[in-house]
């Protein structure tokens, strides 16, 4: 294995694992939030609008955490400074 | 093992594992959301329409997390820049 | 082990593991959804039709997550670009 | 170990593990669904017929997930394209 | 280790592990189903017959999942195509 | 290590592990069933006979799962086709 | 390590582990059963005799699962066909 | 490492681990049983004698499971047929 | 592997894993906070404003923890003193 | 490593691990028992004496399980037949 | 690998892992605290000010624990005495 | 590594791990006991004295389990017969 | 790897891991304490002062446990007797 | 690696891990105790003094368990008999 192969190899693995793991718990958090929103709506239909608004802000914040991971993955695949260094060599 | 074999090998493994893991928790979140939606409907049939609408938005957001993982897998199988680099060589 | 053997080996393993793992949590989600649907029906027989309809949409979305994994497995067994590359060589 | 031995070896292992793992959670889901069905019937005997019908649809969907895994195992044992390739050689 | 030894070895291990693991969760599901059936009967003795019938259908479906695993094990011990191939050689 | 030693070795290990693991969850299921039966009897003494009958059918089905594993172990120790093959040689 | 040493070694390990693991969950099941029996008796002293009888049948069935494992261990230590084969040689 | 050292080594490890693991869950079961006995007594002081009797029978059965493991350990340390074989040699 | 390759390799892996892991529990905490906020709003609509304000402060603090991890990752990819040392050499 | 070093090494490790693990669950059981005893006393002060007596018998039985493990450790450190054998040699 | 490479390597890994792990449970604790604060406010709006004050003190203490870990990471990356020693050499 | 180094090495590791692990669950048990004692006192202030007495006996018994582990550690560090044997040599 | 490198390496790793792990559970304990304090205040505003005082004492004791770990880490980085020994050499 | 390096290495690792692990569960126990104390005070303000006193005794006992581990760590770093032996040599 020469150097660029190793860099390519760990970039691929890390890109996959980071997104795979990083989407797990935000998904859990979203599932929990949506689930509570639904049961709260059924309980208090009048507060539906406030609940929906807060829910969407919350989902967006959770989505942002998953997107940090996705960004790291994308950087590792398409804008990897280490890879560029070895390729340039 | 020459270099392109290694790249192919880790791409295959990572593609499989990323989708395999990345679909787990969104599925859990969807299961939880659907389950709460059903029990909320039974409890408050009048709010059925609002619940269904919120449920579908939520399912779509959860699906999006699983699709991030699926996209990474597809990129690794069909548009892998590292693989192209070694093949081009 | 020559190169094509390695590719074949990891394709087989990844195909099996991806489907094996990827069906787990959708099954859990479906089990939970069906279970809540049944208990909601018993509680509110009148809402049976709405519940059944929502349940089937939900089951379909969960099934779709398992099918992503199954698709990856099938691609790895029957339409594997890496394998084709090494065979063509 | 020559090449065909390796392929045979991983096919056997993967076939066993995929079915072994893949039947776990559908069994859990079925157990949960059956269990809720029984307690719902006891609670609301009149809804028995609707519950039984929904239960069987649900069990069939869960069974389908286990069967995806079983299909992968069967393909790996009796219709394995990688094995055929090495045997043909 | 020559080739047929390896194939025999992994067949034995896989046969044991597949059945060992594959019987776990169906047993859990059956235990849960039986347990709910018993408590439902105590609660609603009149529905006893319907509960018993549904219970037995459910137990049979769960047993079927365990039997998939047992079948794989039996195929690997007594009708293993890979083993036959190496023996025939 | 010659070939027959390896086969003997994995047969011993697999025989022990299969029974050791395979008895776990049926025991859990039986414990749960017995426990619910006892508390149901205390709650509804009149239904005692039906409960006992259903309990024994359930215990038998759970025992059957443990016996599948025990059978695999016994086959591996006393009627192992792979072992016979190497001994005959 | 010559052959008989290996066989002796894995027999010892497997004997210990099989009994060690195999006694775990039956003990859990017995603990649960005894515990429910005691609380049922306190709740319904009149049903004490029926509860005691059913409890003892249940404990015996759970004990039988642990004894399967103990039997395998004893066979591996004192009546091991593989060991006899290598000793006889 | 000569043969008798290996046998001594695995005997020591297995003896320790078997007792260490094998005492865990019986201890859990006993803790649960004692705990329920105490709370049942507080709830129904009149049934104290029956509870105590059943508790002691149960503790004895759980103790028996731990003693199976202890017996295996003692056999491996003081009456190990494999060790005697190698020593005699 | 020469020295700069090793540094690049561990930087890539650590960057991915740190963000992947570090986003998990903040996501869980946010999910929990949002979920409680929603159910509190449904219960006490009048306190909606105070709840929303406290929720956003809380989400910001949790986000800060995830951002510590993201910062470490960014430093490791784009401003890594160890990498600079070896490159400068 | 000569033979007596190996025996000493595994004796030390096993002695430590056996006591370390073997005290865990009895401690859990005792904690549970004491905890229930205290809450039962608060609930039914009149039954205090019976509860105390049963508690001490139970603690003694749990202590006995931990002492089995301690005995194995002491035998391995101070009266180890395998060690004596190698020393005597 | 020469010495400074090894030191750089473990510094990078440890820096990442320490922050990654060390932010987990403070995040859990903050999530729990915020969540309870919100539900307490909804329940007792009058105590809102005291709750907010105590919450912020608590969040600060939890943040401090995460910052210990972050400090260790920063020291390892930017003020590492071991690294300075080897560089100075 | 000569013999006395190995013995020193495993003695250090085992001493640390035995105490580290062995203090875990007694601490859990004590935490549980203290916690129940406090809530029982709040519920039934009159029984405070009896509760305190029983609590201290229980804490002492749990402490004794942790001390067994501490004793093993101290023996391994300051009175290790295996170490003395190798030093004397 | 020469000796001082090894000592530096394990000091770095241990320093990071000890603080990383050692801050986990105190954070959990603080989170739990703060959370209960908040809900107790909402329930009984009059006892607010006593609760706050006890909470701060408790947080301090939990912080002390985390600081033991932090101290060990600091000693290993800045006042490590083993490192000084090898450097002095 | 010469002998004193190995002893230094395992002393460092063990010192860190023992304190890291050994502070976990006492922290959990303290967290639980403090949490119950707070909720008990809110519930029964009159018993506040007795609760505080018992709480501090309990915290001290839990702290003692963590200190056993800290003592072991300190002995391994600053008063290690094995290290002194090798240094003296």
Each residue's pLDDT expressed in tens, for chain M with a length of 89 residues: 688 888 999 999 999 999 898 888 899 999 999 999 999 988 888 888 888 889 998 999 999 888 889 989 989 999 899 999 888 87
According to the model, what pLDDT value does residue H34 have?
Answer: 94
pLDDT digits 0-9 by tens, D35-56 = 999 999 888 888 888 888 899 9
According to the model, what pLDDT value does residue B50 have?
Answer: 87
Who among E22, E50, E81 is closest to D78 (CB)?
Answer: E81
Task: Give the gap in angstroms from C-alpha G39 to the nearest C-alpha of chain H.
Answer: 6
According to the model, what pLDDT value does residue F14 have?
Answer: 93
pLDDT digits 0-9 by tens, B38-56 = 999 888 888 888 888 899 9
Suggest the residue from A8, A64, A65 to mutate for an interface test with chain B (most B CBs closer than 10 A): A8
Q: Has residue F87 got a pLDDT over 80?
A: yes
**Contact (CB<8Å) J58/H87:** no
Number of CB atoms found within 10 A of residue N83's CB:
21
pLDDT digits 0-9 by tens, K9-68 = 999 999 999 989 888 889 999 999 999 999 998 888 888 888 888 999 899 999 988 888
The chain-wide mean pLDDT, for chain M, equals 89
DSSP 8-state code for residue E80: -
Residues of I in contact with A19 (CB under 8 A): 20
Who among K21, K38, K48 is closest to I33 (CB)?
Answer: K38
Chain J neighbours (≥3 Cβ pairs under 8 A) are H, L
pLDDT digits 0-9 by tens, H31-87 = 999 999 999 988 888 888 888 889 998 999 999 888 889 989 999 998 899 999 888
Query: Rounded distance, CA B47 to CA A46, Å?
Result: 10
**pLDDT beneath 50: ranges in chain B:** none
Suggest the residue from J9, J28, J35 to mutate for an interface test with chain L (most L CBs closer than 10 A): J35
Each as own residue / partner, the long-range contacts of residues K56-60 (CB below 8 Å, 24 or more positions apart, any chain) are K58/K33, K58/M30, K58/M31, K58/M34, K58/M37, K58/M38, K58/M59, K59/I58, K59/I61, K59/K30, K59/K33, K59/K34
- List all residues 6 or more positions away from K55 whose beta carbon is below 8 Å from its beta carbon: I54, K33, K34, K37, M34, M38
H2: confidence class by pLDDT, cuts 50, 70, 90: confident
pLDDT digits 0-9 by tens, G38-65 = 999 888 888 888 888 899 989 999 998 8
Token pair recorded at residue N39: 């909720």
pLDDT digits 0-9 by tens, C17-33 = 998 988 888 999 999 99
According to the model, what pLDDT value does residue H89 have?
Answer: 75
Query: Rounded distance, CA M18 to CA M71, Å?
Result: 10
Residues of E in contact with D8 (CB under 8 A): 7, 82, 85-86
Query: Rounded distance, CA H3 to CA G3, Å?
Result: 10
According to the model, what pLDDT value does residue G49 have?
Answer: 86
**Contact (CB<8Å) C12/D80:** yes
Identify the H or E element spanning F60: helix F48-78
**Contact (CB<8Å) C19/D69:** yes
Question: What distance separates the 2 farthest-apart alpha carbons in chain G?
Answer: 65
Alpha-carbon Rg for chain E in angstroms = 20
According to the model, what pLDDT value does residue G12 have?
Answer: 93
pLDDT digits 0-9 by tens, K3-24 = 888 899 999 999 999 989 888 8
pLDDT digits 0-9 by tens, A48-59 = 888 888 999 899
Query: Rounded distance, CA D74 to CA F87, Å?
Result: 30
pLDDT digits 0-9 by tens, I35-88 = 999 999 888 888 888 888 899 989 999 998 888 899 899 999 988 999 998 888
pLDDT digits 0-9 by tens, E46-76 = 888 888 889 998 999 999 888 889 989 989 9
Residues of M in contact with N25 (CB under 8 A): 25
CA distances from N14 to A51, D12, I1, M2 (A): 51, 42, 31, 21
Give chain I's domains with CATH numbers.
3-88 (1.20.20.10)
Q: Has residue G15 got a pLDDT over 70?
A: yes
Q: Which residue of E has its CA nearest to D35?
A: E33
**pLDDT beneath 50: ranges in chain L:** none
pLDDT digits 0-9 by tens, I9-20 = 999 999 999 989
Residues of G in contact with H7 (CB under 8 A): 5, 8-9, 12
Who among M1, M25, M61 is closest to N24 (CB)?
Answer: M25
Q: Has residue F48 got a pLDDT over 90?
A: no
DSSP 8-state code for residue L23: T
DSSP 8-state code for residue D46: G
| Residue from A62, K33, B39 nearest C50 by CA | B39
According to the model, what pLDDT value does residue L1 have?
Answer: 67
**Contact (CB<8Å) J23/L25:** yes
> In this predicted complex, what is the ipTM?
0.82
Query: Rounded distance, CA C31 to CA D27, Å?
Result: 9
**Contact (CB<8Å) E28/F24:** no
């Amino acid at each position: 294995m020469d150097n660029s192969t190793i860099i390519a190899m760990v970039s691929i693995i890390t890109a996959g694992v980071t997104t795979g793991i990083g989407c797990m718990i935000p998904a859990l958090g979203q599932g929990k939030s949506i689930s509570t929103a639904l049961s709260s709506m059924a309980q208090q239909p009048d507060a539906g609008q406030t609940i929906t608004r807060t829910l969407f802000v919350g989902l967006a914040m959770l989505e942002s955490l998953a997107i940090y991971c996705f960004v790291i993955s994308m950087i590792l695949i398409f804008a990897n400074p280490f890879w560029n260094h070895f390729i340039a060599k």
